[in-house]
Structure 1
Amino acid sequence: MNKKLIGVVALSLASSIASANTGLALIHGTGKQTNAYDDYWTGDFINSVKKGLPNESLVTVINCDFEQYMWDVRAAGCVADQVSSFMAQKQITDLKVITHSNGGNVMRWIMSNPTWDSRYPNIIDKTSRVIALAPSSGGTPLADAAIAGNVFESVVGWLVGVKNDAVRMQQVGWMANYNQDWLFGTAGRPSLPKTFEAVVGSDVDSAVWDGDSYCGGYHNQVGLEVTQNWLNSCSDGFLECSSQSAAGSTWFVDKQKTKGQEPLSHQQSRRKCFDLDKLIRDRI
């Protein structure tokens, strides 16, 4: 390739990058949200992450009813509605998505079932990357316990909520069935059409003398330390590592990249803890 042609190609690529209108959507986890900005993510986290965008104003925080099954009009349908409106209003041509926990399942539903909703194909086409923070791709034994109504229920109720459809859906066996028949990205299934990369939380620290235990709220760390007793040794207090890494690819397991090699509990993986916000900022 001669120098003139190289220059033309480089100019074309630069023009393409400059003309891309990159936006960011944050999709919460289980629960019915009306103010996810403050109640789920916090402004500290969002305001730090969005610095990675060419235009920091192109951010939308999704508020939907994730007490429903992922395909429900109040869940995936609501996400499709809000994301589509955001892309149209802001003329987004490149969408980055950050999800947490069950939000990863909702986003995988959209990417795996393009014919389900007429809005899905455009969302899939515009999406370039999904960063899934502690996604519940393989479900959690705590959901099984909550639905069974045994002794676990009183322990995990604050974490997974009541016996709603979203909790029922995240039972381990149920997620295995969905992964086999309805969702892409897991072993033996077609790949997802766009990058879906997980950040995996591997442990919970709750020592009262350890200042790192207070990031995200010390009381949350104590609760997650309790629930971790019913999970395997690699877990974030809500999800086992194998569940978090079941779909797509693993970007990193917490201690591989966090400041001070600190673990990320399920609460801390949606907070400005141990430079997680900076890592995501650089990624987008």
Structure 2
Amino acid sequence: MRWILLAALAAFSGLCQANTGVAFVHGTGKQTDAYNDYWKPPFVNNIRGGLADPGNYVVINCDFTQYMWHDAAAGCLAEQLTRFINQRGITRLIVITHSNGGNVVRWIMSNPTWDSRYPNIINRIVRVNALAPSSAGTPLADAVIAGNVFESSVGWLLGYKNDAVRMQQTGWMASYNANWLYGTSGRPALPKPFRSVVGTDVDSAIWDADSYCGGYFENVGLETTQLWLSSCSDGFLECSSQSAAGYVWFQDKARMAGREPLSHNQSRRACFGLDSILRADMRN
């Protein structure tokens, strides 16, 4: 009985001393102010408000137009996470990613010997909440690189013909998943939980107020590109790609207010209670 009590006290002491932080990791693009331009303050501020210390947050700004292993991508992410961990004394790190950001984070977790900073980051990570991750790529990337009609219609989403878009071609991601990345079927598990929030549809009816969350014209564009994807998609990624790595935490309609779907743009915005779900998760 005495040993059980001591073990319980030790566990409680460890929890009391834990210092949890959250990192917001953007998707494809070269960001210099992702707080305002990519995520928006209402989303970030509501989520970090769930922390014991709301100041324990970092919004990453890196060049994710590069291949995931590039120094400007994974190297930049590792540097900013390491600085955050050291400056704030973070012992538990929750990572929130969107789209291609999930691939960059998976690169770090799958290749701990690639960079001396990686192991310490992996050790601090509690879990990765991957919002609409492009774990198996997207046919739209194939179309953009091929230079067909998609280039003019979705170039604003994909950043045109950069290396990150080239990397997200479906065949290329299949190769990376088979040889370099963990977490997909038939591959070793990732060292920390990687759980996805899957967007299944796009609404853009002009009379529907919900269609304006995240930007009405962005949702119209995503509903247009959805015509070239499978029936289950967020307008940019098919559900199968979003679900390919780790495990599915939930699909949008199961948890969103009014059973609303999350378009690819809405899954990085304070839409339909997504931010409140992620805020509650900061306490775990």
**CA deviations over 1:101-157 (Å, ceiling 9, x no partner):** 000000000000001000000000110110000000000000000000011111110
Residue equivalent to 1:109: 107
C-alpha deviation, 1:161, in angstroms: 1.2
Residue equivalent to 1:60: 58
Q: Distance in 2 between matches of 1:18 and 1:273?
A: 33
SS of aligned partner of 1:278 = helix
Residue equivalent to 2:264: 266
Q: Distance in 1 between matches of 2:232 and 2:125?
A: 31
Residue equivalent to 2:70: 72
C-alpha deviation, 1:281, in angstroms: 1.2
C-alpha deviation, 1:10, in angstroms: 2.5
Q: Distance in 1 between matches of 2:41 and 2:30?
A: 19
SS of aligned partner of 1:23 = strand
C-alpha deviation, 1:12, in angstroms: 1.7
Residue equivalent to 2:247: 249
Alignment partner for residue 137 of structure 2, among 123, 139, 146?
A: 139
Alignment partner for residue 213 of structure 2, among 178, 193, 215?
A: 215
**CA deviations over 1:147-179 (Å, ceiling 9, x no partner):** 000111111101101100000000000000000
The one-letter amino acid paired with 1:117 is D
Residue equivalent to 2:192: 194
Equivalenced residues, count: 282
C-alpha deviation, 1:210, in angstroms: 0.7
Q: Distance in 2 between matches of 1:29 and 1:152?
A: 19
Alignment partner for residue 277 of structure 2, among 276, 279, 282?
A: 279
SS of aligned partner of 1:154 = helix
SS of aligned partner of 1:194 = coil
**CA deviations over 1:229-282 (Å, ceiling 9, x no partner):** 100100000000000000001000000111111000000000000100011111
C-alpha deviation, 1:54, in angstroms: 1.2
Q: Distance in 1 between matches of 2:4 and 2:190?
A: 33
**CA deviations over 1:57-98 (Å, ceiling 9, x no partner):** 000000000000000000000000000011011111111100
RMSD: 0.8
Identity fraction in percent: 66
Q: Distance in 2 between matches of 1:240 and 1:100?
A: 14
The one-letter amino acid paired with 1:57 is G
Please list every run of 5 or more consecutive structure 2 residues that lacks an aligned counterpart in the other structure.
none
**1:28 and 2:17 aligned:** no
The one-letter amino acid paired with 2:136 is G
TM value normalised by structure 1: 0.98
TM value normalised by structure 2: 0.98
Residue equivalent to 1:163: 161
Please list every run of 5 or more consecutive structure 1 residues that lacks an aligned counterpart in the other structure.
none
